[in-house]
Amino acid sequence: MKPVLAWVKSNLVIVILTAVILIILPTSWFFSNMWDKKIRETQEKQAKDAFGKLNALKVNYTLPQLDPKATAISHNEVPNTTLINWFKEQRDALTSQANAVVKKAEDFNKGIGGDAASVGRTEHKPLVDGLFPDGGQAKIDEMEDALLGNRGKPNPYRELLKAARAGEPAEAAALAETLQDFRTREIDKITAGKRDLTPEEQAELSKQLTDRRLGEYQARAGTFSVYASMNSLPKDKRASFVPTGSNMDQANLNLSDLFVFQWDYWILRDLFAAVKLANTVNGTLANVDRAVVKRIEKIDITVPAAVTRSAGGDAGYNPMYPDQMMDPAMSGGAAPTTAVPGMAALDFSQSITGRRASNTVYDTRVVTLTAVVSSARLADFISAVERTNFMTVTDMDLAEVKVWEDLAQGFYYGPEHVVRVTMTIETVWLRSWMTKYMPAQLKTNMKIDAPAADPNAAPPPGAG
């Protein structure tokens, strides 16, 4: 023991330092552990706060779909140049595609471009430049002359008939005179004016007269493609009608009246374009005996929504709905039964297409067309109607044609079987190009609002 104490005394510094080390080690571990926990908690809190701030900066990148029923692409991420550029490029591409489709549809509806030309249509333009939407009295007078074919202007409706190679049967009086002359010559040839015809000769002459009459009908039908006349066009003053002067209240004509006449004319242009398309064979309009559409008997067109016909007749009357003032689907009174975000509302209670619901994208005008058509090629006519413009056959009734009764009136349809078809045709007119022509009062009546201002448009000069 003494040697140990002696060594301790002689090495006191070493012993003291060793003791200090032994005391410091657990103490340091204890305090360092406390400091480590505190530092860790502080750092975790700082990291959590920073992460929260970073998450707060996240942007929801979205890419809409052209089909409203499809789910948009969505990605939530912090601002990122690569993501921003990618989504911008994709949105620009989609926007460009959508705009191209809209422009193509608008052009086709208006009659512009190759698609319209391929079905024989040309651009729908006002008959008088500068009249719509707010031309003055001089332009109104000019439009009146244009509609009636006055002051050297061609009658636009007769021009439609002419372009479709439409014609009428031979006049009964002229045909009767021709047949009488033929009968007289044949009797003189047989009897030399010295006797009466025998029963056999009388029967033979009657057969010759029947053949001659049929020949005249066939020859007449060979000069045009479809039986139609001004009497085939809308003429009920209580609805849409073709102006003739006597059926117009010329003293009270206004811009709204004239625009409806213009709109009706555009509808008729499309209908006759469809007839021409159906009757064209190898690039040429076929004669009646080979045509699909043999005869146009009657056309009726509904009035636009909320239109009053100061030009003549009862306000808003529609021959399609004789118990109502106008088509309720066009008056905005019917609530849509189907609504998809991004699409115009549909109301299938009004038509099988649902398109006659009140909406802000387009207007519908309904046409009733009665015609004599080849029964075997009726589908060709329906196809021609639906190819010509945004027109859909929504209803159709067929009736027998009493061919011999029609033939007695001069209507020769050729050798194939025919039917009398009454079609309901729904026509669609895009507001994207139509409203710029509509007079202000008509837009007010039809509840067409002015387009919303473009938030990205430059402010007018001097605006704060």
Q: Which of 285-289, 303-307, 395-399, 405-409 has the lowest mean pLDDT?
A: 303-307
- pTM metric for this prediction: 0.75
Nearest-angstrom CA–CA distance, 104 and 311: 35
- Crossing angle between the packed helical segments 255-279 and 137-148, to the nearest 10 degrees: 30
Express each pLDDT in 25-52 by its tens digit: 666 655 566 656 667 777 777 767 665 6
pLDDT of residue 211: 64
In this prediction, residue 47 carries a pLDDT of 67
pLDDT at 267 over 60: yes
So where are the chain's domains?
Answer: 60-105, 123-165+224-445
- Mapping DSSP onto H, E and C, the string for 163-228 reads HCCEECCCCHHHHHHHHHHHHHHHHHHHHCCCCCCCHHHHHHHHHHHHHHHHHHHHHHHCCCCEEC
Residues 6+ apart with CB under 8 A from 431: 360, 361, 362, 363, 448
| Residue 240 pLDDT > 80 | yes
Asked if the model's pLDDT at residue 20 lies above 70, the reply is: no
Say what the pLDDT of residue 315 is: 41
Mean pLDDT of 271-278: 98
Residue 455 has pLDDT above 70, yes or no: no
Q: From 263, 292, 264, 266, select the one nearest 277 (Cα to Cα).
A: 292
Q: Is the model's pLDDT at 409 over the cut of 70? A: yes
> What are the distances in angstroms from CA 158 to CA 196, 277, 306, 310, 412?
49, 19, 29, 24, 22
Comparison of pLDDT for 96 and 294, the residue scoring more:
294
d(CA 165, CA 226): 7
Backbone angles phi, psi at 347, to 5 degrees: -135, 100
> What mean pLDDT is predicted for residues 166-170?
90
Confidence of residue 126 (pLDDT cuts 50, 70, 90): very high
> Between 319 and 56, where is the model more confident?
56
Q: How confident is the model at residue 419 (pLDDT cuts 50, 70, 90)?
A: very high
Mean pLDDT of 209-222: 73
- Could you give the percent of the chain with pLDDT greater than 90? 44
Question: pLDDT of 178-187, one tens digit each?
Answer: 656 666 676 6
| β-strands 280-281, 73-77 pairing | unpaired
Dihedral sign computed on CA atoms, order 373, 398, 382, 124: positive
* pLDDT value of residue 107: 96
